[in-house]
Amino acid sequence: MARELRLEQAYTKIKEKFEDRVKLYDEEYEIPLIIKKEQGRRAVLVRGKRSSPLIVSNLFETRQKMLEVFGLSRMEELYDLVTRSTTEESRAFIYEKFEDYYERAQLGFDSLGALKYYEKDGGYYYTSSIVVIETEKSHNASIHRIKVIDSKRAVARIVPRHLYRVYEDRVKKGENTPITILIGTHPIVELTASISPPFNEFEFTLIPNFTGEKVKMVKSPLHGNPVPLGTSYVVEAEITAELIEEGPFVDIMGTYDRVRKQPLILIKGIWALIDGEKMSHAILPGGGEHQLLMGISREAQIWKSVSSAVPKVHKVRLTPASGGWLHAVISIEKNHEEDGKNAILAAFGAHPSLKHVVVVDSDVDPDDPLQVEWAIATRFQADEDLIIVKKARGSTLDPSANDGTTSKMGLDATKPISAPAIFERAKIPGE
């Protein structure tokens, strides 16, 4: 058996919806404002004034909705799927003929659902766009924000990871880098593209871990890159050596990322899915979908690492106020007095971007910041329970860091194993 993945399938699973297929909404601020107002409440589906596809958002900006979309009941199930190994492409994919499902679209790259989100944004952006490239031995898929220049040109923020490595090799050879840009993919496809397995391990081979069966694929018409069947738009392009300005744009912390020189992208052709509803997924920068898409795989790594250091992990939460990236709260069971400190060190090792870690007992809910603060107030002493790491690798997303170099802090806010009654949280029977 093999499965086709469409963005529409994920949208239909969401119970509460803000949907208007008749009125045309403005891509500049109006649609982003609707998305932001409906965060944590309803999925959004609207038509843009200048866009060909329907624009969908808020599919998984809360953990509960993310579990619904993925057909899971507990976050631990998702952590397990995220940390599983990739598999061989031959055992993960079944290929169909591209021309049976896609046709050449007479559309410009500026008409596929790009939005201008915030007042100081440098332009209209795609925020869930996936770039697929061929590597030395396999392929690579990664999510990049892409700024529209016009119908045939764009620029993407490319951080020094796998795509950048391939691009740099091509530049040294005096060649452009062939890429395939995917617009309008299922959240399973987006999540796998946000995971970072080793170079030459293809992210899309993780998809069968989530579906339980092989995934139907097609090969892109010009470059032959693997594309999950059901993707709304397949865009063939090339990254050039020419550098142009990209930004400003809002990052995961809700602050403006600086303007950089990034490589120009030339659009070679656009193909659209023949049958079914075509959708473009707009992820609000700094919003819940952005945070969970980036952070869930890191939470999973923290869960796995801390679980090997302490008897039991109850919850791991990268906190919303830290962009779902810089701060973690972890609830554990202890067998030894220093298990809390071991949990802190294991968390820092699993997610190098972490700046602060708070470890609490199982009777404290990491999802409730008031309970976490209570644990710090009643179970933490700075001279005994504080770990400080100076000048370590952190995150460039932290405006206070020095080019990613930061100081880190871990707080062991767990009670003593043989704790007297003064450490117990009072409860009313039945609560």
pLDDT at 404: 86
Listed residue (394, 410, 225) closest to 329, CA to CA: 410
pLDDT at 431: 77
Question: CA separation (Å) from 421 to 340, 415, 418, 425?
Answer: 20, 11, 10, 9
Q: Give me the numbers of helices (H) and strands (E) for the chain, helices first please.
A: 12, 24
Listed residue (255, 388, 288) closest to 69, CA to CA: 288
Classified as helix, coil or strand, 349 is helix
Domain ranges of the chain: 2-290, 308-423
Question: CA separation (Å) from 238 to 5, 153, 155, 409?
Answer: 26, 10, 11, 43
Report which residue type is found at 375: A
Q: Which residue has the tokens 């194993």?
A: 417
Q: Give the C-alpha separation, 227 to 224, whole Å.
A: 9
Q: Give the C-alpha separation, 342 to 379, whole Å.
A: 17
Q: Give the C-alpha separation, 321 to 284, whole Å.
A: 15
Which strands, in side-by-side order, build the sheet including 54-57? 17-25, 43-48, 54-57, 279-281
If one counts every other C-beta atom within 10 angstroms of the C-beta of residue 358, the result is: 28
Alpha-helix runs per DSSP H in 106-214: 162-172, 187-194, 207-211
Q: Which residue has the tokens 């409860």?
A: 427
Question: CA separation (Å) from 318 to 199, 261, 314, 323, 367?
Answer: 26, 31, 14, 8, 9
Class of domain 2-290 as given by CATH: mainly beta
Q: What dotted CATH number matches 308-423?
A: 3.40.1670.10
Give the pairing type, strands 2-3 and 146-148.
Answer: unpaired
Q: Exposed, middle or buried, 365 (CB in 10 Å: 0-12/13-18/19+)?
A: middle
pLDDT at 232: 98
| Predicted TM-score of the model (pTM) | 0.93
DSSP 402: B
Listed residue (112, 404, 139) closest to 273, CA to CA: 112
**DSSP assignment of 68-81:** HHHT-S-HHHHHHH
- For 70-124, the pLDDT digits (tens) are 999 999 999 999 998 888 888 899 999 999 999 999 999 999 999 999 999 999 9
Alpha-helix runs per DSSP H in 25-180: 30-37, 63-70, 75-82, 89-92, 162-172
Chunked mean pLDDT (size 10), the chain, 431 residues: 89 94 96 97 97 97 94 93 87 95 97 97 97 95 97 95 94 96 97 92 94 95 98 98 95 90 98 95 96 94 96 96 96 94 97 96 96 96 96 88 92 90 83 77
Q: Give the C-alpha separation, 377 to 259, whole Å.
A: 41
- For 201-224, the pLDDT digits (tens) are 999 999 999 999 999 999 999 999
The reply to whether 308-423 shares the fold of 2-290 is no
Token reading at 382: 């700075």
Residues with active-site annotation: 251
Give the pairing type, strands 260-273 and 233-246.
Answer: antiparallel
Report which residue type is found at 303: W
Q: Give the C-alpha separation, 129 to 83, whole Å.
A: 23
